[in-house]
Structure 1
């Protein structure tokens, strides 16, 4: 009997070792499994009667949708967060958002180190010189920095919001602190959950609320490597890595273009910007341009925007924010690389150069693959939603882009969808959160050197 027990224990330990080694060799699989487990636990917890204001258990589809939206830091909802969920439920949602935000930043760093470790010596030295990444030995220090940085940013945002809610809106200190902490966590992690039925529409003209939340969204969406490099050498742009240069440049460009586009299309719209004064219109347009970075807060009624504004938002949501941050989408770095690829092709150049660096062909292919697959996924999801719902193409496309980009903005049709539509959005949020990150690492890890080349052939393009 003792020998059988020992054999059983050894077998269990061997199986556990095999699983650990398998996950180490396939980090993308580990990321997906980790997020799926958190979503499953969160769904079960949200189904408890204590999580609702009515004391009744929540259906599994609603619980699964809410848990996925929180862990994937999206912000799409099928029920009113403040009305349906109790304080326990709201705190649980905030905890899931925090786990999702810290998890994605930490896992992005882990995957970066994993990819770096799988490269050859020469390529690894070049990668470290370009990105200033650390080795696996310094991983605990990096994780601590990520956690401390995240909590510090959330604390600063919470302090400002708490004082504003207390002094500007007469909220009791305890309630003001609760609102400040919840919305600071939701903003920095680019989640977009709010505790009012109209989200932040009632604060459309309040710069203290809007600018604080916008700043938290931008900082969280830039990504850990970029923010820390900016903190180290913000006065010396020439010393920035290419990752930081592209992230900052494209983010700034999209914010300016988005703000101008919303001002142009919504200036005379009586249901959005028209009732506001000049400064209020600028603030609301800027806030609306920031949120597709990807946080689902809105100070304007999204359902009342013009279709042209929906299209602009679709593009911004699809692009998303910075790499290794809390934002979703294909990432501004991918978009920036595609722009340089197009520019090089238009100029007839054989190589794609960014500044004084040459972009490898493998990286170009990765950017194209991620963009094409993401676009195909959004298009297929929009087509499926057209079949499942009676809504128009611009509405379902907006919903699909929002779910994939883990944004959380909606034209107001989310709650009206059937269960099949909700499950489709759940899958889209999960893939949008985990997919681009793991796909990028998987493509880099799969790269191999071919010892021979086949004869070249020419095809007609266009």
Structure 2
């Protein structure tokens, strides 16, 4: 009898899941049809019909929760684990009960009911997405496969939203390949664009791009885990292990603290950046800008900078105001170098390094306080230390910034720079005939040094530009390619081969030259497995750049020089976003090549390869060793 009841209960739960999935998809479709900007819809898809469908879906959601509670064996435990769903039902019901009391001539009761219904649907859909995220995390699927799937889903969803009529101005619809290109560039925090973000997208379209940047920079599953924690839903042991691998942390027991630090630290830095950037955008070119518009530009560029995305609401990027003849263009404002540059740098260091630096600062303050107490007793106080990973990341990043700027100044001639095709990072049709006498080559020493430092920071996967990349000499472009290939640091919002991989390759070479048996750094020996992974990643990444460059050379034959195509390839594979003017001329095949390069560059070629070879087994034997000649 009990077995029959269990079988019936499982069948009912399975049916409820299927009904709930259909209702969720119907809710998304109804909201998209109502707010997607569609105009010529048939009567059976009119607003009254859509509102009726939405109310019916709310009924399905509520009925599902009540029926599941009735079927639960331990109702109190089930209610405690899913309390947010029932609180939401009570709040929605209370709001509808009191809705007639808030009726006005502008907002009738019927409109209030619709608003409550749609708010409930949105929150319910978010909760369903959180549940799916938890289920996937604990399903046993490899973290690499989850990472690839989450980015793929986000790109497809973003592509669909950008193709809605509400995302583009009237009369300028976007094609599928351009929408896919833009969504991939935003999700992979690259910054290469085939459409002007500020002119060719509405506020809704820009908001979609910004959400893709934020979710792509940190990871959609990280946000799902954070929301699950906020509503009291914990991860399983398997889910915690998978999320720990995604966050590159071995402290699975402290996963909630790590997730909380990543999300709150990110939001705090982006908020502070937006506040500091506001005066720059509010002043414009000397004339005041609308407050709402200045706030939007500040928030957009702050998030784009920290996530190393490189997206800008100006066609000329941070060179905005140079061609317009502003007395003080954006690149001359102190916020560009010090605020945006700092956000780019912090976003590219990686969250493990940021958390270690916060811990180091806290321990340093505690140690300083203890020294005063222990001074009389003459007791030694241990000094705080950074871990090896943080030391390598910080030292390598500092050296790359300094040597990147110095080398760019030495390579590039100061005057007589060749003429460029267009102003800014991305050349659009309106700018193709603009000829310039060399803005970069004619800059005075102080601004020239400032722009060299900013580009040295930005080239390692941020993609903002304060000089025209097309004005660089071939040597300058090749040097920038090197910076773009190295990229940022592991577990950060940046892409590229990663600073640690680059540093390990140099350390191995140094150890060989010094005839050291062990590979050492900061008085620590490095495991052979880490060195093999670094070498594998470097080989795969360079191979990816070569393959993408070859495909671009074949598809863009005669339309661009080799160095410009190599520059474009390094920018896409490193998720940087800088361009020498090639992006706007890409044909359809070349666009898909760049889309693939951005996607693989963001998730990492090693991650992709491990996901594809996950079923390979370790062999329980080893062959005899034999030497070969090298060099």
TM-score range, shorter chain: 0.7 to 0.9
Residue 231 in structure 1 maps to residue 358 in structure 2: yes
Alpha-carbon deviation of 1:221? 0.5
Q: Would you say the 8 A contact 2:198–2:206 is kept in 1? A: yes
Give secondary structure in 2 for the equivalent of 1:84: coil
**Secondary structure of the structure 2 residue equivalent to 1:261:** helix
Residue aligning to 1:258:
404
Task: Give the CA deviation at 1:4.
Answer: 8.9
Q: 1:292 to 1:184 in 2, by over 3 A?
A: same
Partner of 2:115 in structure 1?
none
Distance 1:242 1:9, change over 3 A: same
**Distance verdict in 2 for CA 1:174–1:25, change over 3 Å:** closer
Closer/same/farther in 2, CA of residues 444 and 349 from structure 1, 3 Å limit: farther
Distance of 1:291 and 1:155 partners within structure 2: 20
RMSD of the alignment, in Å? 3.4
State the 1:272 CA deviation.
3.8
Aligned to 1:197: 315
Give the Cα separation in 1 of the matches to 2:179 and 2:143.
28
Assess if the C-alpha contact under 8 Å between 1:398 and 1:411 holds in 2. yes
Choose which of 148, 164, 170 in structure 1 pairs with 2:280.
164
Is the partner of 2:459 in helix, strand or coil?
helix
Deviation at 1:142, TM superposition (A): 1.5
Q: Which residue of 2 aligns with 1:121?
A: none
1:381-460 aligned at under 5 Å gives the runs: 381-389=548-556, 390=558, 391-436=560-605, 438=607, 453-460=622-629
Superimposed CA distance per residue, residues 309-366 of structure 1 (whole angstroms, 9 cap, x where no aligned partner): 1111111111101111101001001111111111111122221111222111111110
Distance 1:427 1:135, change over 3 A: same
* 2:152 pairs with 1:152: no
Query: Contact 1:75 / 1:192 at 8 angstroms: preserved in 2?
Result: yes
Partner in structure 1 of residue 58 of structure 2: none
Show structure 1 runs of 5+ residues with no match: 119-123
Pair 1:64-2:180 in alignment:
yes
Cα distance in 2, alignment partners of residues 454 and 437 from structure 1: 25
1:33-182 mapped onto 2 (5 Å cutoff): 33-103=149-219, 106=222, 133=249, 135-167=251-283, 169=286, 170-182=288-300
**Structure 2 residues without counterparts, runs of 5 or longer:** 18-131, 227-236, 321-329, 365-382, 418-437
Return the offset for 1:262.
Answer: 1.6
The 2-side partners of 1:285 and 1:20 are apart by 45
Cα-to-partner distance string for 1:8-45 (whole Å, 9 max, x where unaligned): 866998xx99x948953411011000110010000000
Say if 1:354 and 1:114 are closer, same or farther in 2 by CA, change over 3 A.
farther
Q: Does the 8 Å CA contact 2:145/2:611 hold for their aligned counterparts? A: no
Q: How far apart in 2 are the matches of 1:79 and 1:327? A: 23
Distance, in Å, in 1 between the alignment partners of 2:334 and 2:507 is 36
The change in CA–CA distance for 1:276 and 1:26 in structure 2 (over 3 A counts) is: same
Once the two structures are overlaid, the 10-residue window that deviates more, 137-146 or 56-65, is 137-146
Question: In the alignment, which residue of structure 2 is the partner of 1:344?
Answer: 511
Distance 2:413 2:278 in 1: 32
2:446 matched residue in structure 1: 279
Shift of 1:258: 0.8
* Mean Cα deviation higher: 421-430 or 348-357: 348-357
**Higher relative contact order, chain-length normalized (CA < 8 Å, sep 6+):** 1
State the shift of 1:392 in Å: 1.5
Structure-1 separation of matches of 2:338 and 2:538? 31
**Alpha-carbon shift at residue 115 of structure 1 (Å):** 12
Look up the match of 1:244.
390
Q: How big is each residue's C-alpha offset from its partner over 1:67-116, in whole Å with a ceiling of 9 and x where there is no partner?
A: 00000000000111111111111111111101111217949x99xx9899
* Separation of aligned partners in 2, 1:367 and 1:77: 31
- 2:182 is paired with a residue whose SS is helix
1:53 deviation in Å? 1.8
Number of residues of Structure 1 aligned to a counterpart in Structure 2: 446
Superposed CA deviations along residues 357-381 of structure 1, whole A, max 9, x for unmatched, are 2111111110001100110111011
CA distance in 1, matches of 2:521, 2:339: 33
Deviation at 1:178, TM superposition (A): 1.0
Structure 1 residues 134, 384: CA separation in 2 closer, same or farther (over 3 Å shift)?
closer
> Bigger shift: 21-30 or 418-427?
21-30
Q: Is the 8 A contact 2:139 2:239 kept in 1?
A: no
* Match of residue 334 from structure 2: 207
Residue 288 of structure 1 pairs with residue 455 of structure 2: yes
- Quote the Cα distance in structure 2 between the aligned partners of 1:458 and 1:383: 34
Paired with 1:353 and 1:216, the residues of 2 have a C-alpha distance of 31
> What is the distance in 2 between the residues matched to 1:4 and 1:105?
33
Q: 1:229 to 1:135 in 2, by over 3 A?
A: closer
